[in-house]
Structure 1
């Protein structure tokens, strides 16, 4: 399983609207993508305009090819993109270990 980690910064004062938009985009768009296995999204306390989005994929290609090169990616960015203060920083990780 691959973890996609996106560090997202939004425009100040848009948190409530973005909270609704990101959940909509995750549940209505990304959740139906090939290889999607789940997500977690956290919002900053000290930095309320910062969000950390974790999406779990079967393979790296499920994100980088199947999703990113699809119409679903365009739909996702249409929902959340207007809130971005800058482009999200996105990286991928393999699981090394975990607790219960």
Structure 2
């Protein structure tokens, strides 16, 4: 299992719109992607324009190839992209340890 972490910064004052848009994009586009296994979104308290999006994928290639190189990626960016203040910083992680 691969964890994608996207650090997203949106334009000030657009949190309510973005809250709805990211949920729409996750449920209608990302959730249908090959290898998708789940997501979690957290929004900043001290930095209300900052969001941390976590998506679990079966393999790294499910995100980097199957999704990113598909028409669905353009659909996703059309929904959430207009809110970005800058391009998101995206990294991938493997699980090392977790609590029971």
> 1:89 aligns to what?
89
> 1:16 aligns to what?
16
Alignment partners' CA distance in 2, 1:97 and 1:38: 19
Aligned length: 100
The unaligned stretches of length 5 or more in structure 1 are: none
The unaligned stretches of length 5 or more in structure 2 are: none
Q: CA deviation at 1:42?
A: 0.2
Give TM-score scaled by structure 1 length.
0.99
Over 4 Å off, 4+ runs = none
Aligned alpha-carbon RMSD (Å): 0.3
Q: CA deviation at 1:3?
A: 0.2
Alignment partners' CA distance in 2, 1:25 and 1:98: 28
Q: CA deviation at 1:74?
A: 0.3
Give TM-score scaled by structure 2 length.
0.99
